């Protein structure tokens, strides 16, 4: 569940605002169901081929080219995911620090290094993310994953409670800045279905939010007695509970801000409830959740890099440390200079996420399984591939079109 839930939870209210409540519910249910089904296909192929990684499935299906393609996709996807998490650290940590240091004079504190998002991002990456990412086995992150999950649940509960603390229509100004917000009661009506140019970000954000496939196989392989049936139960339960948490946080986030919801949900609370103690604690909780999830995503990314570029070298701690450091550096640089989290969700979600979530599992199953083509599983795999290609291409084209015409 920690591998599933991360920065995506902050972008789903924005997706709901641009698809409507019913439209969002249908799309989220489709993506969650297909994510569960694609994990089932991956586990089936692991049992059949006795391989222990996503990259080796690519090797079995399409030779060296398949292995390199999967590894490259995983590297890009995980760099995008880690960047989106650290982007939250950059945007939210300064406000959390400022909230704790209420005694500081505002004129002085705004110029202080400890309120610079980029400096804080660098510090947390060096002191927290890098040491945890250096751990030799993914199983060591079980305890931090539990903490991260409870922080996410806490965030969802606060979003539900705080719906009643922010009035609608939204106030025209706040203590922090003047807001250009309409004061019409028409802004307080939820839409069941909605379509706009921003709707193109909806499915990529959902695909990004449910992608746990690169972590499922390493976790499965480190179990004491791996069983496909029990792992499938774990997957279905994890995705089901994640769906529930995602839906509730997205719904109440949308019903709080309606069409004025930010692409990163916490920004709205920071704007309208800047000194609220509970919002400060939930901001800290999300920051901890994000920081504890980034090392989890480092594992499959580092494994993919080692398999593509260093498979000819013996396993060594020096190589392990250098690859971890390089990945960490790239991710921090991306997080420092990407302006908006929805851009990460859009581009990474419509390309690498759709490949790893829909296209690759379906393609590999079609190639490796010996069943008749008209068998239910092969037809399902075929539908998964077609859905992934159509959704990925359509979303990417619309997002690029939006960028060109901004």
Answer yes or no: are the C-beta atoms of 222 and 140 closer than 8 Å.
Answer: no
- Residue 138, pLDDT > 80, answer no
Q: How far apart are CA 132 and CA 294, in angstroms?
A: 9
Residue 83 has which token pair? 């960047």
**Rounded (10°) angle between helices 54-100 and 21-49:** 140
Cross-strand partners of 173: 178
- Residue 321, pLDDT > 60, answer yes
Tell me which residue of 197, 238, 292, 231 sits closest to 7, measured CA to CA: 292
Q: Of the spans 13-27, 96-110, 191-205, 304-318, which averages the highest pLDDT?
A: 13-27
pLDDT confidence of 248, banded at 50, 70, 90?
A: very high
Answer yes or no: are the C-beta atoms of 229 and 16 closer than 8 Å.
Answer: no
pLDDT confidence of 110, banded at 50, 70, 90?
A: low
Q: How far apart are CA 387 and CA 177, in angstroms?
A: 44
Mean pLDDT along residues 57-70: 88
Mean pLDDT along residues 26-46: 89
Mean pLDDT along residues 70-93: 85
- Residue 330, pLDDT > 80, answer yes
Cross-strand partners of 178: 173
- Residue 57, pLDDT > 80, answer yes
pLDDT tens digits, residue range 205-242?
Answer: 788 788 888 778 777 877 777 788 888 888 889 899 98
Q: Of the spans 37-41, 53-57, 172-176, which averages the highest pLDDT?
A: 37-41
Distances (CA, A) of 245 to 6, 115, 190, 252: 11, 31, 20, 11
Instruction: Give pTM, 2 decimals.
Output: 0.78
Other beta carbons within 10 angstroms of residue 78's beta carbon come to 29
pLDDT tens digits, residue range 148-182?
Answer: 778 888 889 988 888 888 877 776 544 444 444 44
Mean pLDDT along residues 320-338: 87
- Residue 14, pLDDT > 60, answer yes
Which phi and psi angles does 173 have, rounded to 5°?
-145, 165
Q: Of the ranges 163-172, 228-237, 317-326, 368-377, which one carries the lowest mean pLDDT score?
A: 163-172
- Residue 299, pLDDT > 60, answer yes
Mean pLDDT along residues 41-53: 83
- Residue 387, pLDDT > 70, answer yes
pLDDT of 102: 62
Q: What is the mean pLDDT of the chain?
A: 80
Mean pLDDT along residues 303-312: 82
- Residue 333, pLDDT > 50, answer yes
pLDDT tens digits, residue range 271-283?
Answer: 777 777 888 888 8
Mean pLDDT along residues 72-96: 83
pLDDT cut 70: percent of the chain above it: 88
Mean pLDDT along residues 84-91: 82
- Residue 259, pLDDT > 50, answer yes
Mean pLDDT along residues 76-88: 84
Residue of higher predicted confidence among 359 and 168: 359
Mean pLDDT along residues 397-404: 78
pLDDT of 181: 47
Complete domains list, the chain, with CATH: 7-404 (1.20.1740.10)
Q: What is the distance of C-alpha 288 from the center of its chain? A: 15
Q: How far apart are CA 66 and CA 190, in angstroms?
A: 45
Residue 62 has which token pair? 């399409």
- Residue 81, pLDDT > 50, answer yes
Answer yes or no: are the C-beta atoms of 4 and 239 closer than 8 Å.
Answer: yes
pLDDT of 22: 92
Rg (CA), the chain: 21
């Amino acid at each position: 569940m920690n591998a599933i839930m991360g920065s995506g939870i902050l972008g789903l209210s924005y997706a709901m605002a641009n698809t409507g409540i019913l439209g969002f519910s249908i799309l989220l249910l489709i993506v969650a169901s297909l994510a569960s089904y694609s994990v089932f296909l991956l586990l089936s192929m692991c049992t059949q081929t006795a391989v222990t990684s996503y990259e080796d499935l690519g090797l079995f299906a399409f030779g060296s080219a398949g292995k390199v393609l999967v590894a490259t996709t995983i590297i890009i996807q995980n760099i995008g995911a880690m960047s989106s998490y650290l982007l939250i650290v950059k945007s939210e940590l300064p406000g959390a620090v400022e909230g704790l240091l209420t005694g500081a004079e505002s004129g002085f504190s705004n110029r202080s290094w400890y309120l610079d998002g980029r400096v804080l991002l660098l510090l947390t990456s060096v002191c927290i993310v890098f040491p945890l990412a250096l751990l030799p086995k993914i199983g060591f992150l079980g305890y931090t994953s539990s903490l991260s999950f409870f922080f996410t649940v806490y965030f969802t509960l606060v979003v539900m409670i705080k719906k009643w603390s922010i009035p609608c229509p939204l106030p025209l100004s706040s203590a922090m800045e003047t807001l250009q917000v309409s004061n019409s009661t028409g802004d307080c009506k939820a839409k069941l279905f909605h379509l706009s140019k921003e709707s193109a970000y909806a499915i990529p954000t959902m695909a990004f939010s449910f992608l746990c496939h690169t972590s499922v196989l390493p976790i499965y392989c480190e179990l004491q007695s791996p069983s496909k049936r029990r792992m499938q139960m774990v997957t279905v339960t994890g995705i089901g509970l994640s769906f529930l948490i995602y839906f509730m946080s997205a719904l109440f986030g949308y019903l709080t801000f309606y069409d004025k919801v930010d692409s990163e949900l916490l920004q709205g609370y920071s704007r309208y409830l800047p000194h609220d103690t509970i919002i400060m604690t939930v901001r800290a909780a999300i920051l901890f959740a994000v920081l504890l999830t980034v090392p989890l995503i480092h594992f499959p990314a580092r494994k993919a890099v080692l398999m593509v570029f260093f498979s000819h070298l013996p396993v060594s701690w020096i190589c392990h440390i250098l690859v971890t450091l390089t990945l960490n550096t790239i991710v921090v640089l991306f997080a420092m200079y990407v302006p908006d989290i929805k851009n990460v969700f859009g581009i990474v979600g419509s390309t690498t996420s759709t490949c790893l979530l829909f296209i690759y599992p379906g393609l590999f199953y079609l190639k490796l399984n010996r069943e008749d083509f008209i068998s239910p599983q092969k037809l399902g795999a075929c539908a998964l591939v077609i859905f992934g290609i159509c959704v990925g291409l359509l979303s990417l084209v619309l997002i690029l079109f939006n960028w060109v015409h901004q």
